[in-house]
């Protein structure tokens, strides 16, 4: 085996890029970069019943958006092409034939229904289901009958007896599996398409993969894969299985769990930033240790220097949505305003607050509104509720707001403010400031007694950003209308 460092991410195109998958891809990518090796994206699509159209393309697009770039893959080719398993069927066939010829695999003529029925019986007897040994041997007469019946065999791998297979996992240490009781397993279905456990070995070997980092759910597949490496006399890659990601209740995250946003695309649509997601994902299982012990903010470049499997935990990681928001807020704050405006625009358009093709002035106004909230947003879709008060005609007053507007000084304060605004030759932050000063002089009300009713009357809210600026951006006409409505 060469000493080349080659890692791969091998998604099955069964749906959107999930946070778990994105983490796996990221860890493989980071280790490849850290060790100066290659990172490959391969598509494992031999379970055709589960394939979803365009899922592979979409997953790759989202990986690219995250900044996880690959050196070889379906879209860009490479020295070990093709990188999509369904394009490699003739390659697998050769190796299946080899195992058949060497007696390490055999044709099984049982139908799917027969195997399912067997499985049911085993379960009913309280046994762990496995393929019965009786299928290993078929007399030539039986075979002739089956062929006459039009049966097409599948290929099973013959699992050796009395063996122990040891996975030397780079994260979990030695994990031992007994071969007895495992049962033979299907490596090629009757339609000639190999199963995952077979194709993955052929590809990892032929593509010279040095390290396989993947989710813990694949740990139990690994002994079967080790058997196939052994059958061919190949040296397996090094394995590293990542612990689960749990939800906030400490339960295994299911894809239907609605307490967590699970797909990268959803984060992207909500206006999360790729850098923040990468930073968040890497901390789901990895920690920097050493000098960077307490540090939590890492750029991709930092991570390429720091990442190592020694610092990946074997205990499950807990997905903390509040931390994801915090992390994204951290990165949002650092971005140039115009970039954030571009991310906010589609949300404001979708909400019907602004035209699809805003005028220069409208754009400028949006820019100033976004500037008010850049510090405070966790993700850009939040601009819609935050900025609604600038775009909607109707202000809704809750009980607390109504209580404030019933205070005795309110009519006098609002009427005076309205008058000063109407009389001001111009409408801008300075004139608004001056008007408020004048109201104070005129009525003697100041501080909270003055500002709170104005804020609540115009925005419906007790808290918010800088009052003068807010009033300015709402616009003179709207402000006067709202004051008039409260006064009437």
Q: Which residues bind ligand GLU (CB under 6 A)?
A: 10-12, 44, 200, 212, 214, 218
Quote the least distance from Cβ 44 to ligand GLU, whole Å.
4
Nearer to ligand GLU, 189 or 218 (CB): 218
Closest separation in Å from C-beta 11 to ligand GLU? 5
Return the SS3 of 7: strand
**CB closer to ligand GLU, 239 vs 373:** 239
Tell me the angle at which helices 429-443 and 448-459 cross, rounded to the nearest 10 degrees: 130
44 vs 184 by CB, closer to ligand GLU: 44
Least separation, in Å, of the C-beta of 10 and ligand GLU?
4
Residue partners of 412: CB distance under 8 A and separation at least 6 = 443, 445
What CA–CA distance (Å, rounded) separates 4 from 6? 6
Say which of 255, 333, 402, 446 is annotated catalytic.
255
Instruction: Report strand pairing: 173-178 vs 164-169.
Output: antiparallel
Measured distance CA(26)–CA(21) in Å, rounded: 8
Smallest distance, ligand GLU to C-beta of residue 91, A: 17
Closer of 6 and 214 to ligand GLU (Cβ): 214
Among 437, 469, 441, which Cα is nearest to 455's? 469
Q: How far is the CB of 229 from ligand GLU (least distance, A)?
A: 13
Chain-centre distance for alpha carbon 143: 49
The gap between the terminal CA atoms of the chain, to the nearest Å, is 85
Buried b (16+ CB within 10 A) or exposed e, 62-95: bbeebebebebbbeeebebeebbbeebeebbeeb
Token pair 């891809």 in the structure block, residue: 25
| CB 47 to ligand GLU: min, Å | 9
Active-site residue flag, 255: yes
* Strand bridging mode 105-108 / 154-157: antiparallel
**CB of residue 1 to ligand GLU, shortest distance in Å:** 18
Closer to ligand GLU at the Cβ: 15 or 190?
Answer: 15
Judge whether 320 and 248 are in contact, CB under 8 Å. Answer: yes
Q: Residue 131 gets which letter from DSSP?
A: B
Q: Which residues contact 340 (CB under 8 A, 6 or more apart)?
A: 332, 370, 374, 380
Q: Which is nearer to ligand GLU, 312 or 405 (CB)?
A: 312
Closest to ligand GLU by CB, 187 vs 410, is: 187
Residues with a catalytic annotation lie at 255
């Amino acid at each position: 085996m060469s000493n080349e460092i080659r890692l791969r991410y091998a998604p099955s195109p069964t749906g959107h890029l999930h946070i778990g998958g994105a983490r796996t891809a990221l860890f493989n990518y980071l280790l490849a970069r850290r060790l100066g090796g290659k990172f490959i994206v391969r598509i494992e699509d031999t379970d055709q019943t589960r394939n979803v159209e365009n899922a592979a393309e979409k997953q790759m697009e989202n990986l690219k958006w995250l900044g996880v770039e690959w050196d070889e893959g379906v879209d860009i080719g490479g020295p070990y092409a093709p990188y999509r398993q369904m394009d490699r069927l003739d390659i697998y066939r050769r190796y299946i034939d080899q195992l058949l010829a060497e007696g390490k695999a055999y044709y099984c003529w049982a139908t799917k229904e027969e195997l399912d029925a067997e499985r049911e019986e085993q379960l009913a007897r309280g046994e762990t289901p496995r393929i019965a040994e009786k299928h290993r041997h078929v007399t030539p007469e039986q075979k002739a009958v089956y062929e006459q019946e039009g049966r097409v065999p599948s290929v099973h791998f013959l699992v050796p007896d009395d063996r122990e297979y040891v996975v030397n996992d780079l994260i979990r240490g030695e994990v031992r599996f007994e071969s007895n009781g495992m049962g033979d397993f299907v490596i090629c279905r009757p339609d000639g398409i190999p199963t995952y456990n077979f194709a993955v070995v052929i590809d990892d070997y032929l593509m010279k993969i040095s390290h396989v980092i993947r989710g813990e759910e694949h740990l139990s597949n690994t002994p079967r894969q080790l058997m196939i490496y052994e059958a061919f006399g190949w040296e397996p890659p090094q394995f590293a299985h990542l612990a689960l990601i749990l939800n906030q209740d400490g339960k295994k995250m299911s894809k239907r769990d609605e307490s967590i946003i699970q797909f990268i695309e959803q984060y992207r649509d909500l206006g999360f930033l790729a850098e923040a997601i990468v930073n968040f994902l890497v901390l789901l299982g990895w920690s920097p240790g050493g000098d960077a012990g307490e540090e939590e903010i890492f750029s991709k470049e930092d991570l390429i220097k720091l990442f190592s499997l020694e610092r990946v935990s074997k205990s499950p990681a807990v997905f903390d949505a509040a931390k994801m928001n915090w992390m994204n807020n951290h990165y949002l704050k650092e971005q140039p305003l115009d970039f954030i405006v571009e991310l906010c625009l589609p949300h404001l358009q979708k909400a019907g607050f602004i035209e699809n093709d805003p005028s220069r002035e409208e754009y400028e106004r949006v820019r100033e509104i976004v500037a008010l909230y850049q510090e405070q947003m966790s993700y850009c879709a939040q601009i819609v509720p935050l900025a609604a008060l600038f775009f909607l005609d109707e202000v809704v007053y809750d009980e607390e707001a109504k209580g404030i507007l019933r205070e005795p000084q309110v009519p006098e304060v609002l009427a005076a403010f309205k008058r000063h605004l109407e009389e001001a030759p111009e409408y801008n932050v300075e004139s608004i400031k001056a008007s408020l000063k004048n109201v104070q002089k005129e009525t003697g009300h100041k501080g909270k007694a003055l500002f709170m009713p104005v804020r609540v009357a115009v925005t419906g809210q007790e808290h918010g950003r800088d009052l003068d600026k807010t009033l300015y951006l709402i616009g003179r006409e709207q402000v006067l209308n709202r004051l008039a409505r409260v006064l009437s």
